[in-house]
Amino acid sequence: MATKALRRWTTDELETAIYSGSLDNIQRYEAERILSDREKVPERRLARRTYNAAAWALAFSMGILYRCPGHPLTFGDG
């Protein structure tokens, strides 16, 4: 079985296959890696949102948007 085929499996199917012992060592390793990657996705999204929010807060606090000519939130002549 190719590792790409394992990526198409649902999380429940991968967990069941791992716990039942129906995968060989290489497939089991790949299935565990796929599950680990799937668990990290929400953490990456949260980190990206947090970073973006902090960057915008910093930009506003420094008045960067005040100096962006043509931006709809620019105040004054820029």
Tens-of-pLDDT digits for all 78 residues of the chain? 556 688 899 989 999 999 998 999 999 999 999 999 888 888 888 888 888 888 888 877 776 555 566 666 655 554
In this predicted structure, what is the pLDDT of residue 78?
43
Q: What pTM value is reported for the model?
A: 0.54
Residue 65: CB partners within 8 Å, gap ≥ 6?
59, 71, 73, 74, 75
Distance, CA of 30 to CA of 14 (rounded, Å): 10
